[in-house]
Amino acid sequence: MARYGTVAIVGVGLIGGSIGLALRRRGLAEHVVGIGRRQSSLDKALAFETVDSVSLDLAEGVKGAEITVICTPVARIAQDVLTTAANCPTDALITDAGSIKGQIVDELAAATAQPECKGVKRLEKNEVHFIGSHPLAGGEKTGPQAAREDLFDGRVTIVTPTEANRSTETKRVSLFWQDLGSRVVCMSPEEHDAAVATVSHVPHVAASALAASTPKASLDLIGTGWLGTTRIAGGDVELWRQILTGNRQQVLSALAEYEAALAEFRTAIANENDEQLVELLQAGKDRRDAVGS
């Protein structure tokens, strides 16, 4: 008997598709339904066998789902959570795979001002449960065709309960990601957003600014160093706009730290302070060497 009944996946791209593949190939779910807004994406999801059935209608698609995973762009997640909460079975679990977490919590909190919203009511009454997640997995390729059963194997998934969540539901969400192969780390949405600002969002800004500030005339001379340092600058612009604006305060704070570190380098070089320059280079090397290749 499968561990889960019906699991709904909203957004059947790389992440959603990989969740579906992992669930289906490992026999973890009785049924996986893929929900999307374009028939062409759903057709691909079926063709790559990442889901068992598909639906263009979110409210309809989540009706029987004991777990729904929202894998849509961050700017849409809160809205999709509310629609799911209004239509999924009692005691169902809702989670997501968004790269930022505080904004979603804030948007859901703001929605409580609309008491007519059925999803808000059910979440408040603990009839259904939402706990945010962020699997640190992905890659340069996107879309259902890039989905992989082992995408989450050995990768960290951050689960971000709030004070509104009970530990039983936090445990259920954590077990779900563990079943997919992840190592789970729990922290608050705020802690999550501060941490990913430093390890993901500021690196993206650093790479993008570096690529943009390299004169065209110099591109003939680039080597593996420049290519590696700027690789992530090739990421999707709209995705990154949503992340950087959605996590504005934490990004600005981490960016200030980075700019201060660069200023220290500049000062050491300008003042011909070799001792300090060696210290700075060594600090960067030590931090980098600590984590392997």
Site for a copy of itself in 168-207 (CB under 8 A): 185, 195-196, 198-200, 202-207
Binding of a copy of itself by 124 (CB under 8 A): no
What does the DSSP assignment read for the chain?
A: --SEEEEEEES-SHHHHHHHHHHHHTT-EEEEEEE-S-HHHHHHHHHTTS-SEEES-HHHHTTTEEEEEE-S-HHHHHHHHHHHHHHSPTT-EEEE--S--HHHHHHHHHHTT-TT-HHHHHHHTTSSEE-EEEE----S--SGGG--TTTTTT-EEEEE--TTS-HHHHHHHHHHHHHTTPEEEE--HHHHHHHHIIIIIHHHHHHHHHHHHS-GGGGGG--HHHHHHHGGGGS-HHHHHHHHHHTHHHHHHHHHHHHHHHHHHHHHHHTT-HHHHHHHHHHHHHHHHTT--
* Closest CA relative to residue 22, chosen from 41, 1, 3: 3
Q: What is the C-alpha separation between 123 and 108, in angstroms, rounded?
A: 10
Binding of a copy of itself by 37 (CB under 8 A): no
Binding of a copy of itself by 270 (CB under 8 A): yes
Applying CB under 8 A, which part among 55-63, 64-72, 111-119, 235-243 lies near a copy of itself?
Answer: 235-243
Window 243 to 262, contacts with a copy of itself (CB under 8 A): 244-245, 248, 251-252, 254-262
Q: How far is the CB of 177 from a copy of itself (least distance, A)?
A: 14
User: How big is the site for a copy of itself, counted in residues (CB under 8 A)?
Assistant: 87
Query: Which of residues 43 and 279 has its CB atom nearest to a copy of itself in the complex?
Result: 279
Query: Which of residues 118 and 266 has its CB atom nearest to a copy of itself in the complex?
Result: 266
Binding of a copy of itself by 107 (CB under 8 A): no
- 216 burial (CB, 10 Å; 0-12 / 13-18 / 19+) is exposed
Window 126 to 165, contacts with a copy of itself (CB under 8 A): 136-139, 155-156, 158
Applying CB under 8 A, which part among 24-32, 54-62, 171-179, 281-289 lies near a copy of itself?
Answer: 281-289
Binding of a copy of itself by 241 (CB under 8 A): yes
Query: Which of residues 129 and 192 has its CB atom nearest to a copy of itself in the complex?
Result: 192
Applying CB under 8 A, which part among 31-39, 50-58, 104-112, 271-279 lies near a copy of itself?
Answer: 271-279
Applying CB under 8 A, which part among 52-60, 102-110, 125-133, 264-272 lies near a copy of itself?
Answer: 264-272
Q: How far is the CB of 201 from a copy of itself (least distance, A)?
A: 10
Binding of a copy of itself by 209 (CB under 8 A): yes
Binding of a copy of itself by 224 (CB under 8 A): yes
Window 6 to 35, contacts with a copy of itself (CB under 8 A): none
